[in-house]
């Protein structure tokens, strides 16, 4: 919903056009789930590389939304479709990476813990981000917070990946 609100309030896109961009973002997410999973299955660089690419791509897309260019309807729409592809598409490679990175005999626990944290974030973040947008009167802190959380996740996973090698 923040996609539609951002496009409507910040980029002056009509509600119908903004909703179409949301649909396009969801469609890009479907394509991302298929393409990124296939890439992950056939990549010689391992699943972590695909997850890393997705996190970097998400930070890049959110960064675009933080700039004045991110207020332009066409650029903002493109950024949301980009975020749909990488932000929704990352899930399959991420789940596979979590299972492969788990210690022997702890795959179920690791995946269960990761999924639990993920589901809690899925439930709590939309209202929290909406509240942040309402309190600040801007989407800039929302996109900045999401980018920061992604950079923190990227840093933590990179450090863990480095330790295991």
Q: What is the pLDDT of residues 7-48, one digit of tens each?
A: 999 999 999 999 999 999 999 999 999 999 999 999 988 889
Q: Report helix angle 91-101 to 47-66, nearest 10.
A: 140
What is the per-residue pLDDT across 105-161, written as a single tens digit (0 to 9) for each? 999 999 999 999 999 999 999 999 999 999 999 999 999 999 999 999 999 988 877
- Tell me the pLDDT tens digit for each residue of 48-75: 999 999 999 999 999 999 999 999 999 9
pLDDT tens for each residue of 125-137? 999 999 999 999 9
Q: Is the Cα dihedral 55, 60, 61, 62 positive or negative?
A: positive
Residues in contact with 119: Cβ distance below 8 Å, sequence separation at least 6, in sequence order? none
**Could you tell me the two tokens for 96?**
């596979």
Considering the entire predicted model, what is its pTM? 0.91
């Amino acid at each position: 919903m923040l996609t539609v609100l951002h496009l409507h309030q910040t980029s002056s896109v009509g509600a119908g056009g903004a909703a179409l961009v949301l649909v396009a973002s969801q469609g890009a997410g479907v394509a991302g789930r298929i393409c990124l999973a296939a890439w992950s299955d056939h990549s010689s660089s391992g699943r972590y590389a695909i997850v890393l690419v997705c996190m970097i791509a998400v930070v890049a897309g959110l960064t675009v939304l933080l700039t004045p260019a991110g207020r332009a309807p066409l650029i903002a729409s493109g950024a949301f479709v980009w975020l749909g592809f990488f932000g929704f598409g990352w899930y399959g490679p991420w789940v596979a990476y979590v299972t492969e990175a788990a210690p022997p005999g702890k795959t179920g626990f690791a995946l269960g813990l990761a999924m639990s944290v993920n589901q809690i974030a899925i439930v709590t973040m939309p209202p929290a981000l909406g509240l942040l947008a309402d309190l600040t009167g801007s989407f800039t802190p929302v996109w900045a917070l999401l980018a920061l959380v992604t950079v923190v996740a990227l840093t933590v996973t990179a450090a863990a990946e480095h330790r295991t090698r």
